[in-house]
Amino acid sequence: MSQYIPERLDGRAVNLAGRLAYSVAVAGSPAAAAETVIATVAVPTNVQTFQAVELEAWAAFTVGTSGVTAEMRIRQTNVNGTVVADSGLATVTAGNLYERSIIGADAAPGPGQVYVLTLQVGSGAAASTVSAVYFRALSI
């Protein structure tokens, strides 16, 4: 048997549209220092995941009064769900606009798994404002 693969799939011939779910809808903004869901995405129920669900998110937000840190998380299901990815704490200054991104992978998703993107502003004494988000899930 030959050691070479006789044919390869070209990227132009692979359609991943059915495996991709995304959202650009802002679901909420953190009130004071509470961890808050800012975006939600669900994996299509009719897609089989062979390896993992790759998750990528980006958000732009203005830090509320007294905010000193910002942390984004990707969780399963809701704000109390299993953490899939955590950005860690970043130092921020109240009143300033920031952009953050986070990438993660869930190796054991359930069918139609729902993921949430959360934002928590440490020491925030007033609401922060999320102005834009992009959150995607790609089942591979």
What is the per-residue pLDDT across 43-63, written as a single tens digit (0 to 9) for each? Answer: 988 888 889 999 999 999 999
- At residue 65, does pLDDT exceed 90? yes
Measured over the CA atoms of residue 64, residue 69, residue 70 and residue 71, the dihedral's sign is negative
The CATH number that domain 23-139 falls under is 2.60.120.660
Q: What angle do CA 41, 25, 16 make, to 5 degrees?
A: 45
What token pair was written down for 8? Answer: 């390869």
pLDDT tier for residue 5 given thresholds of 50, 70 and 90: very low
Of all residues in the chain, the percent with pLDDT exceeding 90 is 79
- Pairwise CA distance, residues 16 & 128, whole Å: 35
- Summarize the confidence of residues 14-36 as an average pLDDT: 92
| Phi, psi (degrees; rounded to nearest 5) at 17 | -55, -40
- Pairwise CA distance, residues 115 & 135, whole Å: 9
- Summarize the confidence of residues 66-90 as an average pLDDT: 97
Using DSSP, state whether 19 is helix, strand or coil: helix
- At residue 1, does pLDDT exceed 60? no
- Pairwise CA distance, residues 138 & 49, whole Å: 9
Is 43 in contact with 49 (CB distance < 8 Å)?
yes
Is 36 in contact with 127 (CB distance < 8 Å)?
no
Q: pTM value?
A: 0.90
- Summarize the confidence of residues 99-120 as an average pLDDT: 96
